[in-house]
Amino acid sequence: MSSLGQGFQGQLGQGVRKSYYSAVDAESGQAVAVFFRKPDGSIIEAFWRRRQNDWGFWEVLPKSATPPPNISIAATLWANSHYRIYYFDENMFLCELAFESKTAPSSKQLDKKIRARENSGISAVCFRRDGKSNLRVYFIDPDGKLQETTIYDKGTPIDVSDLHPNTALQFVTLTGWDNEANEIRGYYQDTEFNIREIAYKERAWGKSTIVQPAKALVPFAVAVSGADGKSPKVCLYTVSEKTEIMEMTKEGCDLDAKWGNSTPLAPTTGAKSLSAIGNQFVEEEADMHILSSDDSGDNFVHNWKTNGALADKTEIINLDQPEAKVITYTGASIATVPIKPLQT
């Protein structure tokens, strides 16, 4: 599970903006961890608990001596509360953070010196195969090719000849990280701005198909809900020209299944990035969390959709250090929460 957005171009905004945060489902579906990378290179974890409906905040990585040119970030779950976070350093080499929730992470540049193009998006997934956990990280290399790396090599190209060099990347598994029977779906925009889907099935990548046309590079996010791979629902979120979050869904694993119509979900104030995460553990609690952010690098909006309807308590999370502010969408209540250092 993992999530990345993309900035508008042309009349929708200048330049390209990759997502600077990524969310994972945690504690067997009872929590969500959002990893947020700020322009100074620091990484903050925002941790939300479902039953308590509250937030905690921790600094995962301090600011960089040299601000990175690309603050894209991807997170995935290695085990129930064991995270892997991937990001680029100031020279665009791929780096990894490995840690358990609320404990000090170990950070390293990957040994093979895997390098990406400066505008690359990034996405990551974890799944089981033959009883062992497998990690996959996706990025665009300096030659403009889509790469899949297992962390232990420099990457294997995925054949997508129509890849837009500045597209966001979204890769998801159709089941939870601990399920053996797994398939991967990848999403990107092509040179005509169409959002495309490519499927990994029976240990091979197939040909891409168009999911939704677009007029420019747009913010989009993809997430999956459905416990243990039972009738997974794939959800695609985009931002319209009217700055509404739009939702399209597709049921099941069938590659020929039809996507539903794009429908409005929630207004935004001009979101430049999207992330989303679905509950793949608890069948009776079909949660979906849609996170949107403007271009400030300091805040995101948390839309919580449960059993098909948006929850009343949509929240604004402001991550100005040294405190975070949690504000209900109506402005009725404000909670100020300190951003804590992780335990050593």
| CATH code of the domain in which 190 resides | 2.120.10.70
Residues 16, 123, 198, 152: is their CA dihedral positive or negative?
Answer: positive
pLDDT for residue 3 is more than 50: no
Tell me the DSSP string of 142-181: TTS-EEEE-SSSS-EE---TTB-TT---EEEESS-TT-SS
Domain assignment present for residue 3? The answer is: no
Report, as an integer, the average pLDDT of 296-316.
70
Hey, what are 329's tokens? Answer: 């969408």
pLDDT for residue 38 is more than 90: no
Range of lowest pLDDT (134-138, 232-236, 243-247, 291-295): 291-295
Domain assignment present for residue 1? The answer is: no
Hey, what are 15's tokens? Answer: 């330049």
33-36: list long-range contacts, CB under 8 Å, 24+ apart. 33/75, 33/83, 33/101, 34/275, 34/291, 34/300, 34/317, 35/60, 35/73, 35/75, 35/83, 35/85, 36/73, 36/300, 36/319
Per-residue HEC secondary structure of 86-120 comes to EEECCCCEEEEEEEECCECCEEEECCCCCECCCCC
Question: Rounded CA gap, 157 and 197, in Å?
Answer: 16
Domain assignment present for residue 203? The answer is: yes
Q: What's the pLDDT at 86? A: 92
Phi, psi for 101 (deg, rounded to 5): -55, 130
Hey, what are 305's tokens? Answer: 């959709």
Question: Rounded CA gap, 279 and 300, in Å?
Answer: 20
Hey, which of 75-84, 237-246, 316-325 has the most confident mean pLDDT?
237-246
Peptide bond into 157 cis (omega under 30): no
Neighbour tally for 54: CB within 10 Å: 12
Contact assessment for residue 4 and residue 222, using Cβ atoms and an 8 Å cutoff: no
pLDDT for residue 124 is more than 90: yes
Contact assessment for residue 74 and residue 122, using Cβ atoms and an 8 Å cutoff: yes
Question: Rounded CA gap, 327 and 318, in Å?
Answer: 8
Domain assignment present for residue 314? The answer is: yes
Domain assignment present for residue 108? The answer is: yes
pTM, full prediction = 0.87
**What is the band of 281 on the pLDDT scale with cuts at 50, 70, 90?**
low
Domain assignment present for residue 24? The answer is: yes
User: pLDDT: is 177 or 338 the higher one?
Assistant: 338
Domain assignment present for residue 4? The answer is: no
Beta bridge partners of 6: 18
Beta bridge partners of 193: none
Range of lowest pLDDT (42-46, 123-127, 173-177, 245-249): 173-177
Radius of gyration of the chain (CA): 18
Peptide bond into 322 cis (omega under 30): yes
Phi, psi for 332 (deg, rounded to 5): -70, -30
For residue 57, what are the contacts with CB-CB under 8 A and spacing of at least 6?
44, 45, 46, 47, 319, 324, 337, 338, 339, 340
Domain assignment present for residue 2? The answer is: no
- Domain boundaries, position 332: 10-341
**Number of domains composing the chain:** 1
Question: Rounded CA gap, 121 and 158, in Å?
Answer: 15
Report, as an integer, the average pLDDT of 240-256.
84
Report, as an integer, the average pLDDT of 253-269.
83
pLDDT for residue 110 is more than 90: no
The amino acid at 84 = R
Q: What's the pLDDT at 141? A: 92
Report, as an integer, the average pLDDT of 297-303.
76
